[in-house]
């Protein structure tokens, strides 16, 4: 993830991970996560880590000037926030 003016830019997506399977692509800008406006990378990681594994979150993305809303299943992760 990288900061953007309104959200965070997706810098990488695990090939067979839940985000890729839901349709998230490199270059997408995550603007909202479960209804919460995303302001920076650290806050985004905290939102992800606070989401219970097995749940599904609603993500609002900006892609090529269009807003997309997709459901992404949450998996358990050992990724810690950086920053």
Could you read off the pLDDT of 12-46 as tens digits, one per residue?
A: 999 989 999 999 999 999 999 999 999 999 999 99
Per-residue pLDDT averaged across 58-62, rounded? 97
* Neighbour count for residue 38 (Cβ, 10 Å): 21
User: Which domains are seen in the chain, by residue range?
Assistant: 2-73 (2.30.42.10)
pTM more than 0.85: no
pLDDT at 3 over 70: no
CA distance 49 to 13: 17
Q: What sign results for the dihedral spanned by CA atoms 64, 65, 71, 73?
A: positive
Beta bridge partners of 32: 37, 60
pLDDT of 1:
64
């Amino acid at each position: 993830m990288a900061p953007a003016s309104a959200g965070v830019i997706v810098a990488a997506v695990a090939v067979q991970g839940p985000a890729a399977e839901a349709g998230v692509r490199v270059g997408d800008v995550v603007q909202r996560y479960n209804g919460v406006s995303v302001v920076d990378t650290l806050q985004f990681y905290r939102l992800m880590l606070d989401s219970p594994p097995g749940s599904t979150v609603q993500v609002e993305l900006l892609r090529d000037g269009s807003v997309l809303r997709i459901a992404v299943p949450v998996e358990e992760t050992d990724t810690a926030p950086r920053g």
